[in-house]
Chains A and B, each alone.
Chain A
């Protein structure tokens, strides 16, 4: 059994490639089922945010790790050769460490930003619903959540965290000076949009608009801010009265076109219009950023805004890395232990099988019908078997600790040969 993680992030791939690879949210379940059906794949998990796509799979020992890459790159409208240079692949220990680091927000665009954990939880829910997360991934993901929580509570990483939306506020201040009395609109009612709105209103934005594909969700999000809810069709009408637009829809095509922005600017009579596009794929047509009076920042552009706070977070990050390393060791110990489980259970099953067969034959041959005598014999055989297989089981259990992968596998194979145990299903 091995863990394979393949992915790409803001560190390795430009936005254009990430856009191609990110599946629409409703398709994740299907993707996971497709992956789990591949040869040698036991479990699968896929997390896709605007900054990263990570595929994690549990494979049979002899399976080719390349299947995960193949799965990730298939049917994306671009050749695998265009994606592969941007991909990284980690196995076992490194895969676990990477997942822990991502969840603890150590690998984030804005180190310490809290949203990634929620996104991983969401992805885990999708994997359990699709039935592709079982013993190993269940344990790993639950551990991951604990690690992220530990990092957050034991280090100062969250305290210094500057979220993307906070960076957006800083930028807006460089354009409008003060946000007092401005109008902000979010397009697409996601969690990120909600967070951004909170920041903006906290900075003095007085009027809030929420546009969404479904009006119900827009109303729900707008209510706490005393905002107005809109349908996407109303965008051209209201855009001229808005100062800051944050887009985060899951739409595959831009919802704000060049023409729409141009019309809005005309109505604004020279007042600038600031677009923050945190959606992947992007929601605002790229040419909009070239218009006089329009400023367009996508998720990658925001990274440069937050460079400043990096130094203060470096120390907290170091501490967090230590926690991650510690937890990786713990999980790997568990995972190695897991490899011994099938051998142990097979050994117990075989011993029990022999015991009951021999016991029944003896009871029949001797014609023993007294339940008291039968119970005594049962106890005797149980004790015998238990004592006989105790040492081998202890040997197998210890074999999983403090040994190299090869030694461990050899020893397990030897035990199986001695007791003539077939290799069978492990869960």
Chain B
């Protein structure tokens, strides 16, 4: 069931992305709305697919890289669609659609490592931990996106070559709102995710913090985003400097998500997640 839903989601994301790109070319408002609607449908299918997988496995589908990427893609699409309800960025569908479709496709080709159902994964704490972190990552991906688009638009404004690309990019003010909103919300959720994770570790493993590589990298990421938030709110780094910092922070976030899980052994690593149950040190 979840496999059918998975492929249906992928089709919807590709279709929604294509319609949104067509909107950028033709500039017809109808296409913009249609693209978003298709993506919303895709997001609904995606949610259903994840729920089905959850029901099937009996635990949150985040046990391996395949499932984690799937979940990350869902979080980005959700964050993009929800944030766009308010900010109405005309370019959102054309970026989020293809991006999430690619992530889903990548997830599809990754090996299916069957996770062992463990009672440790059924706790509400770990559900909160994973979902909060993932939602936070999805929002911070939007901060990254806002930074990239900001730099593009800033460059266009300075180069004074105001061609079709410039016309289709959102205004700096709106991109700044995107960065601001997603950064504040994303940082908050990531913080909640880290706290719930620490509390759960205390409950199951007896200590809040075990210097697991992923924990260390998550801490580095969190500190970077704290710095980003601080410079934005206190020092007013909202222009190019803020955008570059957001890019750097997201690079570290991606490394935390992928690299720290794949390269280093530890109880968060994707390789060992299957056997997680308190057995690993």
B-binding residues in A (CB < 8 A): 171, 173-178, 268-272, 289, 292-293, 295, 297, 301, 304-305, 307-308
List residues of chain B with CB within 8 A of the CB of A178: 173
Find A304's partner among B158, B162, B172, B174 (CB 8 Å cutoff).
B162
Known: A269-B236, A271-B236. A297 touches B160 (CB 8 A): yes
User: Looking across the interface, which residue of chain B has its beta carbon closest to that of A300?
Assistant: B160
**21 A-B residue pairs with CB within 8 Å:** A171-B157, A171-B162, A174-B153, A174-B157, A175-B157, A175-B171, A175-B173, A176-B172, A268-B236, A269-B235, A269-B236, A270-B232, A270-B235, A270-B236, A270-B239, A271-B236, A272-B239, A289-B158, A293-B239, A304-B162, A307-B162
Indicate whether B266 reaches chain A with its CB closer than 8 angstroms.
no
The reply to whether A304 and B160 form a contact with Cβ atoms under 8 Å apart is: yes
Nearest-Cβ distance from residue A310 to partner chain B, whole angstroms: 13
Q: Is the CB of A292 within 8 A of B239?
A: yes
Distance between A15 CB and nearest chain B CB, rounded to angstroms: 13
Q: Interface SS of chain B: helix, strand, loop or mixed? A: helix
Residue of B nearest to A272 (CB): B172
Chain B: CB-nearest residue to A306? B162
- Bound-state CA distance A270–B167 (Å) is 24
B112 contacts the other chain (Cβ, under 8 Å)?
no
Among residues of B, the one whose C-beta sits closest to the C-beta of A308 is: B167
Decide: A177 and B173 in contact? CB cutoff 8 A: yes
B237 at interface, CB cutoff 8 A: yes
Are B160's CB and A177's CB within 8 A?
no
In the assembled complex, B121 has its CB within 8 A of some CB on chain A = no
A176:B160 contact, CB within 8 angstroms: no
Q: Shortest 6 CB-CB distances between A and B: which pairs?
A: A269-B236, A270-B236, A177-B173, A270-B238, A177-B171, A293-B239
Give every chain A residue within 8 A of B174 (Cβ-Cβ): 177
A295-B157, A304-B162 known; A175-B172 Cβ under 8 A = yes
For B240, what are the chain A residues with a Cβ–Cβ distance below 8 Å?
292
Q: Is the C-beta of B86 less than 8 angstroms from some C-beta in chain A? A: no
Interface residues of B in 140-165 (CB under 8 A from A): 153, 157-158, 160-162
Whether B160 and A301, one on each chain, are in contact in the complex, defined by CB atoms closer than 8 angstroms, is: yes
Contacts of A292 in B (CB 8 A): 239-241
Chain B window 199-236, contacts with chain A (Cβ cutoff 8 Å), 1 for yes, 0 for no: 00000000000000000000000000000000010011
Total number of residue pairs linking A and B with CB closer than 8 Å: 52
Chain A residue with the shortest CB-CB distance to B175: A177
Are A176 and B173 interface neighbours, CB within 8 A? yes
Known: A295-B158, A301-B160. A176 touches B171 (CB 8 A): yes
Whether B166 sits at the interface, judged by CB under 8 Å, is yes
Q: How many chain B residues touch A (Cβ–Cβ < 8 Å)?
A: 23
Residues of A within 8 A of B232 (CB): 270
Q: Which residues of A contact B167 (CB under 8 A)?
A: 308
> Taking the nearest CB of chain B, how far is it from the CB of A239, in angstroms?
16
For the complex, is B35 an interface residue (Cβ under 8 Å from A)? no
Nearest B-chain residue to A304, judged by Cβ = B162
Q: Contacts of B241 on A, CB cut-off 8 Å?
A: 292
Measuring CB to CB, which residues of chain B are less than 8 angstroms from any residue of chain A?
153, 157-158, 160-162, 166-167, 170-174, 177, 232, 235-242
Write out the residue numbers on chain A whose beta carbons fall within 8 Å of the beta carbon of B235: 269-270
Closest Cβ of chain A: how far from B26's Cβ, in Å? 16
Centre residue among A176, A268, A292 by max chain B CB count within 10 A? A292
A270 to B157 Cα, complex, angstroms: 17
Question: What CA separation (Å) do A173 and B167 show in the bound complex?
Answer: 11
Q: Most chain-B Cβ atoms within 10 A of its Cβ — which of A173, A270, A305?
A: A270
Q: Which residues of B contact A293 (CB under 8 A)?
A: 238-239
Nearest opposing residue in chain B for A269, CB measure: B236
CB nearest neighbor in A for B157 = A295
Best-surrounded residue of B158, B162, B166, B167 (most CB of chain A within 10 A)? B162
Contact A174:B161 (CB < 8 A) given known A270-B232, A272-B239 = no
Residue of A nearest to B169 (CB): A174
**Roughly how many angstroms separate A274 CA and B158 CA in the complex, as a whole number?**
11
A242 to chain B, nearest CB (A): 16
Given A270-B232, A270-B236, A308-B167, 13 further pairs, Cβ under 8 A: A173-B171, A174-B153, A174-B166, A174-B172, A177-B171, A177-B174, A268-B236, A270-B235, A270-B242, A272-B239, A292-B241, A293-B238, A295-B158
In the bound complex, residues from chain B placing their C-beta under 8 Å from that of A301 are: 160
CB proximity of A276 to chain B, nearest CB, Å: 12
The interface residues of chain A lying within 8 Å CB-to-CB of B173 are 175-178
With A and B bound together, what is the CA distance between A295 and B172 in angstroms?
Answer: 11
The answer for the CA separation of A304 and B166 in the assembled complex, in Å, is: 11
Partner of A305, one of B153, B162, B170: B162
B162-A270 in contact (CB<8A):
no
How many angstroms from the CA of A214 to the CA of B121 in the assembled complex? 76
Assembled-state Cα–Cα distance A269/B237 (Å): 7
Residues of chain B with a CB closer than 8 A to A175's CB: 157, 171-173
A173, A272, A289, most chain B CB atoms within 10 A = A272
Chain A CB within 10 Å — which of B166, B170, B236 has the most?
B236
Closest CB of chain B to A64's CB: distance in Å?
A: 41
Our pick among A171, A176, A270 for the contact of B237 (Cβ within 8 Å) is: A270
Complex CA gap A271/B237 in Å reads 9
* Contacting residues, chain A, for B238 (C-beta < 8 A): 270-271, 293
Once the chains are docked, how many angstroms separate the CA of A388 from the CA of B242? 92
Using CB atoms, name the residue of chain B closest to A307.
B162
Give the CA-CA distance A173 to B172 in the complex, in Å: 9
Please name the residue on chain A nearest to B156 by beta carbon: A174
CB distance from A166 to the nearest CB of B (A): 14
Bound form: Cα–Cα A308–B239 in Å = 27
Question: What's the Cα separation between A307 and B167 when bound, in Å?
Answer: 12
Note all chain A residues with C-beta closer than 8 A to B171. 173-177
Chain B: which residue is nearest A301 at the CB level?
B160
Which of chain B's residues have a CB closer than 8 A to the CB of A174? 153, 157, 166, 171-172
B residues within 8 A CB of A268? Answer: 236
Residue of B whose beta carbon sits closest to that of A289: B158
Contacts of A270 in B (CB 8 A): 232, 235-239, 242
User: CB-CB < 8 A to A307: which residues of B?
Assistant: 162
A174 to B166, CA, bound (A): 9
